[in-house]
Amino acid sequence: MTWTDRLVLVIAISGVALLYPWLWDGREGEAETVRIWAGDSEYARYPLDRPRTVEVPGPLGTTVVEIADGGARVVSDPGPRQICVRAGRLDTPGDQALCLPNRVAVEILGAEPRYDTIHY
């Protein structure tokens, strides 16, 4: 490896190191609202600054969503695998919990979502 190869490598690594904090600062924005879907339509929107418990009806039964301390979580769901319950606390814009057997979805909204799109 010649000295010019080393110089190019040092410049490239330095450029990446200097641009990294500028391009990605680690902040995803403030979570402001929780949006709850039941079936094909929006069931409700609630601000995250007031604690409450919401019971959302679905084809299998009732899904219970708890809103507290700037976040939301699914407390109980009649679905067999409990995937949305195991999703845990949602507190960042773009976070979602999907209770698919019961056709209920919980999503955190804010000024700046973490992802543009999500594909499964």
Q: What confidence tens digit (pLDDT) does each residue in 58-71 have?
A: 999 999 999 999 99
**Mean pLDDT score across all residues of the chain:** 88
- For residue 105, how far is the Cα from the chain centroid? 12
Summarize pLDDT for 35-81 with one digit per residue, the tens. 999 999 999 999 999 999 999 999 999 999 999 999 999 999 999 99
pLDDT band at 113 (very low <50, low <70, confident <90, very high): low
Count Cα neighbours of 29 within 13 Å in the Cβ-side half-sphere.
14
State if pTM tops 0.85.
Answer: no
Residue 16 is classified by DSSP as: H
Helix (H, G, I), strand (E, B) or coil at 54: strand
The pLDDT, as a whole number, for residue 16 is 86
**Residue type at 93 in one-letter notation:** P
- Considering the four listed CATH numbers 3.40.50.150, 2.60.320.10, 2.30.31.20, 3.30.830.10, the one that applies to the domain covering 31-110 is 2.60.320.10
Could you give the angle at the alpha carbon of 110 between the alpha carbons of 109 and 111, nearest 5°? 145
Q: Looking at the predicted structure, is the pLDDT value of residue 110 above 60?
A: yes
Encoding tokens for residue 109?
A: 């909204």
Listed in sequence order, the residues at least 6 apart from 34 whose beta carbon sits closer than 8 Å to its beta carbon are: 45, 46, 48, 65, 67, 72, 90, 106, 107, 108, 109
pLDDT band at 111 (very low <50, low <70, confident <90, very high): confident
